[in-house]
Amino acid sequence: MQNGQTQRRHRAVFISDIHLGTRGCRSDFLIDFLRRTECDHLYLVGDIVDGWRLRKSWYWHDEFDEVLRLILEKAERGTKVTYIPGNHDEMFRQWLGLEVAGVKLMREAVHEAADGRQYLIMHGDEFDGVIRYAKFLAYLGDWAYDWALVLNRVFNSARQRLGYPYWSLSQWLKRQVKEAVKAIDRFETALAGEARRRGLHGVVCGHIHHAEMRQVQATAYMNCGDWVESCTALVEEADGSFRLIDWADENRLSMWRGNARAAETVAA
């Protein structure tokens, strides 16, 4: 953890795809981010808790509790916290409209920035054809992604022994597969189109673990990324401008997991 460093403040913070309950979750980096970041409005844009994985096998530790404690602490201190469940934490969708411990659960939201522009906030799985029409394929894809992460750790353990820096095999594979690239483009275009159809200036989403900010036919598309590999957050500043924060890169945090939990992950 980075202690004693300058506290930063943003008008709004958007984070998604934390996947608490999985071995790949970088809860250590997220705790650092939450401790050093304040905001008026915090949006949790889905897949905060990985219900899919927890139903298969229970995996939970103190860092996951600390993430939840820090979020609830922010709500108690006056931060508006909006939780938009995704497909991995869809079990919370039965509670939409409720406010629990200062955290409001919503299917989607509209955020008004400081400059008056309005943005649709949603997880995004509604615009993923695999999730919507063939859920069993989504579970298969989830399994494949997990194995890619395992291979990634084994691969990087070898790189570390040879003195090479960390390199994400799974993200590289995703970029190399042309169909995956086309699927991401279709997803981004569909989300931006939905915001435009509603007369909004843009959309903020998660779901595909691909942090991005770009214009799609004059509509802003902004994806928060994830806290499994990219460790990114989207923030709005006081003037209404948005930017992506790569927390690991910005703070020179190592992606190596030099602890017992990492060894357990590789062994699995």
Domain boundaries, the chain: 8-267
148 pLDDT more than 70: no
Sign of the C-alpha dihedral, residues 162, 167, 171, 173? Answer: negative
Predicted pLDDT at 28 = 96
Q: Which residue has the higher pLDDT, 146 or 31?
A: 31
Task: Identify whether the C-beta of residue 218 lies closer than 8 Å to the C-beta of residue 212.
Answer: no
Task: Identify whether the C-beta of residue 65 lies closer than 8 Å to the C-beta of residue 27.
Answer: no
Task: Identify whether the C-beta of residue 68 lies closer than 8 Å to the C-beta of residue 18.
Answer: no
Task: Identify whether the C-beta of residue 58 lies closer than 8 Å to the C-beta of residue 134.
Answer: no
Task: Identify whether the C-beta of residue 209 lies closer than 8 Å to the C-beta of residue 229.
Answer: yes
Q: Which residue has the higher pLDDT, 127 or 266?
A: 127
Predicted pLDDT at 171 = 64
In words, the CATH class of domain 8-267 is alpha beta
Predicted pLDDT at 252 = 85
Average confidence (pLDDT) over 116-137: 73
d(CA 17, CA 45): 7
Task: Identify whether the C-beta of residue 84 lies closer than 8 Å to the C-beta of residue 119.
Answer: no
Element of type H or E holding 129: helix 129-133
* Tokens standing for residue 205: 């989403």
* Tokens standing for residue 139: 């579970």
133 pLDDT more than 90: no
